[in-house]
Structure 1
Amino acid sequence: MQLRNISLSLGGKIVLQPIDWKLTQGECWAILGANASGKSSLARVLSGALQAHGAIEDRPERVQWVSLESQQALYEEELYRDESDLLNEIDEGRSVRQLLVETAPWSALHDELCTSLKLTHLLDRGYRRLSSGEGRRTLLACALLQKPDLLILDEPFEGLDHDSYEQLHQALNTLVMQGQWLVLVVNQTAHIIDQCQRIALMDEGRLIYQGPRPPDLDAVWQQLDRHQQELPELPPRSPEFQLPAWPKDKPLLRFVDAFVQYGDTFQFRDFNWQFKPGEHTRIQGPNGSGKSTLLGLITGDHPQCYRNNLEILGFRRGSGESIWDIKKHIGYVSGSLHRDYRASASALTVVISGLTDSIGIYTEIGEQEKSLGLAWLDILGMVEQANTPFRSLSMGQQQLLLVARALIKQPPLIIMDEPTEGLDDFNRFYVLKLVEKLITVSGTTLLLVSHRQDETLSCISRSLSFVPDERDDVRYSIKQIVH
């Protein structure tokens, strides 16, 4: 396949500058680039999902593209098909089995893919109940069932736990050795599989290198780091979002015999926990173990929070408290929030919406709020995108905005569920440094979910680990560890 003088503009902005590139069938390429470098746009042009200026010769007939965007599209399709009102119960979407069968009639290939991608135990689970990593593996299986000539995987490793990450690495290496023509789109050098020996390096819409994987790739990659400067000063905090005179020994969160139950099976049960100011804690466990579910009990986004004996910021859940009584003291970012942020909003509006914990803004924005939002955009280097529609930005840029939305109040409690998902190496560590600075300056307490071993912040002194439970009716236990 030959790309000749390919260029692309979206919304009046140049996204891809003229590109010439040749890909040979059976090769494995990695398109490596920072957030907003143009790598995903190039992948979409390769797949035929975007039409660009220039010519593409000999594009294969069967091209499959799996990405964070396609995962979001399927999630929104399942929301559109929601029949909860008709069923008189929560519609969890089509099951993994249904999605696979709708792609192709069941065959030995289905069994093989379910085994290699660890989907067998998920076959009867609704898509909307899957974790982001489980959803990613499901989409990959659907793509492979169509036996593509060219398979394009955009950020396939995001949100995977360690075991799933290693299993997918192995599965993709095997595919390449079997002759699969594969293009990986990644924002971290660690996500380039062993069998991938050809690199296309993107920077600001330009293809600055194409060819064999250079031995000094990490050094070349580090030269693109634009976060070498010191962190700027944080804007002043507003007293409105703080907890007045909160004793250090008084728990921010208290769980008594907490549980989540689906049918006859408990996701977890008998969980007793107190979370006090300054006890920065990391939550860890495999995909689908219940980490995000636990956070949903805290934020009130999981319906079973009212069946539990929970105390959140001094309020007993279900005692007549308002949602705002609790949420105004919490900053929150998660994959589910990213999926659900579908309102028409600019980058600036998204950040400011953290002040009201809403999806979008439905009242007039005052000058003080606008100034604060712009200050946080400046911290992220995104002032130029202030008026850009949220959904037209790259997934990495969207994630940065949602991080700023969580931090804008500088609240006493910040809950971050995979906050660096979709971010390149540079933005990932910049965000972590920003969070550490906020903790130091504002006295914020952090509750962090992260699969990455290199994302353990120095301030974290405790962890909650989800481990398989030996009881037949309980999937996981939650163990607290003090470091």
Structure 2
Amino acid sequence: MKLINLNLRLNKQTILNNINWHIQPGECWALLGTNASGKTSLAQIISGELAPSSGEIAGRPVQVAWVSLEAQQHIYERELYRDDTDFMDQLDAGTTVKELMCETAPWSDRHQQLAAALQLTPLLDRGYRLLSSGEGRKLMLANALLSEPELLILDEPFEGLDAASRNELHQVINQLIANGQWLLLMVNQQDDICSGFSQLALLDKGELRFTGAMPNDLAEQWQHLLTLRNKPMPLPARQSQFQLDDWPENKPLVHIENGFVQYDDTYQFQGLNWQLLPGVHSQISGPNGCGKSTLLGLITGDHPQCYRNRMQVFGYQRGQGESIWQIKKHLGYVSGNLHRDYRVAGNALTAVVSGLTDSIGVYKAIGESEKQLALSWLALIGLREKWNTPFRQLSMGEQRLVLMARALIKQPPLLILDEPTQGLDDFNRYYVLNTVERIIANGPTTLLFVSHRQDESLKIINHKLLFTESKAPEVLFDIQTTQPNA
């Protein structure tokens, strides 16, 4: 397959510029790209979903499968359209994993083998809307492999996976390489490149900077690109109207007694007794699907079972007449669920401003002071020049950066970050985490942090909440805590 003088312009912007790339049949390439480099657009062109503005592709394979965050979002929105919860007396969990795997062909030994290889067998009867983002990603990979593609494009396949699942996927990919599968792996973090890839392409700002055999000095070349993005800037002013005045140090921001989440006869977790004190910066860890994001949903009020639990947030007992906005005004929040649900019209600026009103979208005129504050945060994340770009037209990495600015704009008393660096390249990942640490050092913000990455355990963390598989058959997961500074 040859990409010859390939160019792409969308909305008067150059996305890809003069791409020339020769990929031999059966070769396994890793494409390493920065945020907004054009990786996804390139994948869409190769898969036939998008036509280039000029240039040509010679020898494109007939059957191409593309696994991506964008495709996962499409499935989620389709499942939302099919949601019948409003017409039922219980939650509609959506199409089951087994049904989704059988959409193109009846169940077979091949389905069973892939389900086992990707740890999907225990999830076959679970509805799609009850899957974690990592579990949904593994389902998409299974369906892609079921189509038996000539060329398989994996676009950020490791995002949202816990450490064990990442290792399992590395093994699956290396086995595919050993079996002769034609593969193109697109990632924005160097550590996500599997050992079996012998060819490398570097993509930055729509241009191929390097193509060829995997170099010995990959880290040096990648670091050279990233250091060009150094952008130290002062933090915008803290917004005092969102702070908790005179909050006692020994009064919990969050307090849960015997907390649980139950679906039919199955507990996702139970027996949680936990409190989060001001200044006790906490990290929640555990495997995919154990309930980490669910617990955060209980705290924010976005999970309906928050009202079934004995739970206090900022001194308000859930279900005792408090307004959800009395709680949310003291929160900053970013997660995969928020990202996939942020589907309203609006530009990057309005997305950041919506963090001041805790809404998805902005439904009133934006004042000049709000606009300037949002612009300062967009400048901090390097996207000020894209303030008027529609949110949905930004790359997935740029969207995540905007949602981070949305969460940080209040510099709130409680900052909840659930896999905040998904979709970010190495530079932006460390830059965002450094900005979070600066905010913590700058004032009375308490951090509640979820990450599957081993290299994202922040120095400021002094408390851990660990979800582990329980040996008790009636409990799927139990929870262990360590004391601060333990």
User: TM-score range with shorter-chain normalisation?
Assistant: over 0.9
Q: Deviations over 1:310-344 (max 9, x none)?
A: 00001111110001100000000000000100000
1:24 aligned onto 2:10? no
| 1:133–1:160 CA contact under 8 A, matched in 2 | yes
| 1:330–1:411 CA contact under 8 A, matched in 2 | yes
| 1:414–1:444 CA contact under 8 A, matched in 2 | yes
Q: Which residue of the partner structure matches residue 423 of structure 2?
A: 422
SS at match of 2:225: coil
Shift of 1:226: 4.4
Q: How far apart, CA to CA, are the structure 1 residues paired with 2:365 and 2:282? A: 37
Shift of 1:89: 2.0
Q: How far apart, CA to CA, are the structure 2 residues paired with 1:30 and 1:402? A: 28
Q: Which residue of the partner structure matches residue 386 of structure 2?
A: 385
For 2:19, the aligned partner's letter is I
Q: Deviations over 1:216-247 (max 9, x none)?
A: 00100001114764632211122210001001
Q: Which residue of the partner structure matches residue 42 of structure 2?
A: 42
Q: How far apart, CA to CA, are the structure 2 residues paired with 1:17 and 1:229? A: 24
The answer for unaligned runs of 5 or more in structure 2 is none
Q: Which residue of the partner structure matches residue 315 of structure 1?
A: 316
Pairs within 5 Å for 1:384-463: 384-463=385-464
Pairs within 5 Å for 1:65-464: 65-226=66-227, 229=230, 231-464=232-465
SS at match of 1:102: coil
| 1:63–1:150 CA contact under 8 A, matched in 2 | yes
The answer for unaligned runs of 5 or more in structure 1 is none
Q: Deviations over 1:85-107 (max 9, x none)?
A: 23332112111000011122111
**Identity over aligned pairs, percent:** 57
| 1:30–1:196 CA contact under 8 A, matched in 2 | yes
| 1:411–1:444 CA contact under 8 A, matched in 2 | yes
For 2:34, the aligned partner's letter is A
| 1:227–1:430 CA contact under 8 A, matched in 2 | no
Q: How far apart, CA to CA, are the structure 2 residues paired with 1:45 and 1:341? A: 26
SS at match of 2:102: helix
SS at match of 1:454: coil
Shift of 1:396: 0.4
For 1:6, the aligned partner's letter is L
Q: How far apart, CA to CA, are the structure 1 residues paired with 2:371 and 2:438? A: 23
How many aligned positions are there?
483
RMSD between superposed Cα atoms in Å: 1.0
Q: How far apart, CA to CA, are the structure 1 residues paired with 2:208 and 2:105? A: 37
Q: How far apart, CA to CA, are the structure 1 residues paired with 2:203 and 2:231? A: 25
For 1:42, the aligned partner's letter is L
Q: Deviations over 1:97-156 (max 9, x none)?
A: 000111221111111101111100010111111111100000000010010000001000
For 1:240, the aligned partner's letter is Q
TM normalised by structure 1 equals 0.99
C-alpha distance 381-176 of structure 1, shift in aligned 2 (>3 A): same
Q: How far apart, CA to CA, are the structure 2 residues paired with 1:98 and 1:385? A: 41
TM normalised by structure 2 equals 0.98
C-alpha distance 446-310 of structure 1, shift in aligned 2 (>3 A): same
| 1:227–1:426 CA contact under 8 A, matched in 2 | no
Q: How far apart, CA to CA, are the structure 2 residues paired with 1:83 and 1:230? A: 47
Q: Deviations over 1:436-483 (max 9, x none)?
A: 000000220000000011111111011000011222221111111133
